[in-house]
Amino acid sequence: MSICALQKATLVGLTEEKAIILDQLQALGVMHIIPLSAPKTTATPVEHLAQGVSPEQLHGGLHYLLSCKQKRKQVLSERHFDLPAVVDAVEINRTKRLTLVERHDFLQKRIKDLQPWGSFVLPAEEDLYGQRLWFYLVPNYKMKEVECTSLPWQLVHRDNRHSYVAVISKHEPELNEMPVVRTHTGSVPLLDLKSELEDIEVELETVEAEREALTRWIYLLQRSIAGTEDHAQLAEVSDQTLDREQIFAVQGWFPEERKGELEAFADSCGLVLLIEQPDEDEVPPTLLENPTALAGGEEVVQFFQMPGYRSWDPSRVVFFSFVSFFALIMSDAGYSLLLGVILIFYWQSMGQSATGLRLRAMGAALAGAGFIWGVLVGSYFGAQAPFAWLAGFKLLDLNDFDSMMLLSISIGALHLVLGNLMMAWVRRKSVQALSSVGWALAVFTALIGWVQGFHWLHWLFIAIGLCLVLLFSSAQRGWGLKRFLDGLLALTGITKLFGDVLSYLRLFALGLASASLAMTFNQLAVDVAAALPAIGLLFKVLILLVGHLLNFVLTVISGVIHGLRLNLIEFYNWSLADEGYAFQPFAKREVSPWIT
């Protein structure tokens, strides 16, 4: 179990030293803060932020600059860097550009709509003796209706779809007098709109040039992110402490193994420290702890559903099962080697962050397991082994439907048996654990009976398992009707369990589809080369490159989606009862502070 045991700590100190103490506590980075008071303000005070800049402003400005196509040489020295001034300049530029772009798009559409009408200035009402012009965009097939109207009209322009009609009338014609509603052309002449559009385009070029000039600060803005977020988090925690005149208190969860660090911190700062174990009705956050080589499963778990504090950590199970499922779906040693080459290309860049290191280790496991399984099934880009000694390692045949179906169903059944056993372990203090044991017993026995042929002993153990589900699925105390009805309702899960086991057949189906598609491209390339002796070789190479690249992409996507689906839907449904929330340490992100 890799869910860290947590304890609750309460620190009490003098209010006059609160800012210093909280800053040092943030540097220690061991506590997940528990709010002791409601936030006093809805927003972080500007004076508490890093130079008056919020993380949201900084992230928004950076995103705006990074999306600029042309970037200037980066400034590395901080001598002339004024964070608030740069962020303000970026925000002003972004707002101005947004306004100009909106106006530019409007003018372009308006000019496009008015172009068929030509450039004209609407006459004053007295020039037409009180009459006015009304404009209509009429589909060509409705022009017969216009010709029947008694209103004076003139055809201004016609294209392959519409006729542009101008009508003279003192009042807007009634809906039944014209076949369509009128078109609003506006009172600004086309020439004026074009002139304004030209001015807007010139101004946009100036704004884009200013934006490009501001991109020289991207590096320093990125360096400012950690410090800005630290100041914002410090201000937030300062707002959540319990203040009573001359003293204040801050409370939070911390890992049990870091108790010594917290005690040393309290002693050095002259603080009162109270450490408590979590009560039964308390829900501490979940802190997962896995070795880096296996922590890729932790990334998957945190992305989908964080297990509860009193549950179990499925990270390692998810890691190994996802790697295995991906390999079964890939079912090709050549594609796995290609995946390994891509991983090697990004190896160094992925090692620059903790998440990258975890995903890199998982990627290596995926490529390695896929290669081993590909060798066992003897598939190399859909072809046979290129060397005779490699062919000797082929132990399985993807075209042996019976064996592959048996393997897929067995994997699915055992995966769900493991899930139910882990659920039983989580419920070990409750009789409901026996219902999970019952499901595991029924599934395992049914699997053995299916493989060996059913015997009366198999049916007996299946019946025992289902009886455990019937009797111990309810949380009700006693043996009343409510418990029996809850048990009957739980037994309806048989159909769901059966469907979940069969869902693992996708491992065989997708693996077979990938191998079949690879062989199809190979055969197609050979046939084309034979049919076209001269240029056929070029087409053969193109078919192999495009075909296998397409199949590789589809296989990787299928392996990721369906490998995760079997873990996070089928497996999770039988192994996790509750959802938790992640441990968020009150810690500094900035390695070496440089923002004051």
Distance CA 591, CA 596 (A): 14
Q: Which helix (H) or strand (E) holds 8?
A: strand 6-14
Can you list the pairs that 191-194 forms with residues at least 24 positions away whose Cβ atoms lie under 8 Å?
A: 191/119, 193/107, 193/110, 193/111, 193/114, 194/111
Query: Residue 210 is which amino acid?
Result: E
Structure tokens at 541: 């190479």
Of the candidates 135, 174, 172, 128, which has an alpha carbon nearest to the alpha carbon of residue 157?
A: 135
pLDDT the model gives residue 47 = 45
Distance CA 504, CA 403 (A): 14
Distance CA 277, CA 584 (A): 19
pLDDT the model gives residue 594 = 34
Distance CA 357, CA 203 (A): 46
Residue 157, helix vs strand vs coil: strand
pLDDT the model gives residue 509 = 92
pLDDT the model gives residue 593 = 38
pTM: 0.75
pLDDT band per the 50, 70, 90 thresholds, residue 130: confident
Per-chain mean pLDDT for the chain? 89
pLDDT band per the 50, 70, 90 thresholds, residue 64: very high
pLDDT the model gives residue 583 = 93
Strands 272-276 and 242-244: unpaired
Between 346 and 479, the higher pLDDT residue = 346
pLDDT the model gives residue 592 = 42
Structure tokens at 526: 């050979």
Question: Residue 165's beta-bridge partner residues?
Answer: 136, 155
Q: What are phi and psi of 400, to 5 degrees?
A: -85, 85
pLDDT band per the 50, 70, 90 thresholds, residue 40: low
pLDDT band per the 50, 70, 90 thresholds, residue 39: low
Residue listed under structure tokens 């803005």:
221
In this prediction, residues 384-407 reach a mean pLDDT of: 87
Of the candidates 596, 4, 584, 582, which has an alpha carbon nearest to the alpha carbon of residue 237?
A: 584
Q: Are 326 and 560 in contact (CB under 8 A)?
A: yes
Q: What are phi and psi of 73, to 5 degrees?
A: -60, 135
Q: Are 465 and 445 in contact (CB under 8 A)?
A: yes
The answer for residues whose C-beta is within 8 angstroms of residue 130's C-beta and 6 or more apart is: 170
Strands of 162-169's sheet in order across: 132-139, 162-169, 153-158
Q: Is the pLDDT of residue 476 over 50?
A: yes
In this prediction, residues 373-392 reach a mean pLDDT of: 88
Helices (H) and strands (E) in the chain, counts: 21, 8
Q: What are phi and psi of 423, to 5 degrees?
A: -65, -40
pLDDT band per the 50, 70, 90 thresholds, residue 428: confident
Q: How many CA atoms lie within 13 A of 327 on its CB side?
A: 24
Distance CA 560, CA 304 (A): 14
pLDDT (tens digit per residue) in 257-288: 999 999 999 999 999 999 999 998 899 999 99
Q: Is the pLDDT of residue 50 over 70?
A: no
Distance CA 77, CA 547 (A): 50
Q: Is the pLDDT of residue 1 over 60?
A: no
In this prediction, residues 184-196 reach a mean pLDDT of: 86
pLDDT the model gives residue 259 = 93
Question: Residue 251's beta-bridge partner residues?
Answer: 10, 34
Distance CA 130, CA 126 (A): 5
Q: What is the DSSP string of 282-351?
A: ----B-B---TTTTHHHHHHHHH-PBPTTS---HHHHHHHHHHHHHHHH--HHHHHHHHHHHHHTHHHHT
DSSP 8-state assignment for residue 592: S
In this prediction, residues 419-438 reach a mean pLDDT of: 91
DSSP 8-state assignment for residue 471: H
pLDDT the model gives residue 41 = 55
Distance CA 291, CA 316 (A): 10
pLDDT (tens digit per residue) in 323-356: 999 999 999 999 999 999 999 999 999 888 888 8
The answer for residues whose C-beta is within 8 angstroms of residue 54's C-beta and 6 or more apart is: 44, 228, 232
What does the radius of gyration of the chain's CA atoms come to, in whole angstroms?
35
Structure tokens at 101: 């772009």
Portion of the chain with pLDDT greater than 90, in percent? 55
Distance CA 307, CA 315 (A): 10
Q: Is the pLDDT of residue 48 over 50?
A: no
pLDDT (tens digit per residue) in 548-593: 999 999 999 999 999 999 998 899 889 887 788 999 999 987 654 3
The answer for residues whose C-beta is within 8 angstroms of residue 425's C-beta and 6 or more apart is: 312, 433
pLDDT the model gives residue 46 = 44
DSSP 8-state assignment for residue 15: G
In this structure, of 84-93, 299-308, 454-463, the range with the lowest mean pLDDT score is 299-308
In this structure, of 45-54, 149-158, 234-243, the range with the lowest mean pLDDT score is 45-54
The answer for residues whose C-beta is within 8 angstroms of residue 282's C-beta and 6 or more apart is: 8
Residue listed under structure tokens 């100009």:
100
pLDDT (tens digit per residue) in 308-322: 898 898 999 999 999
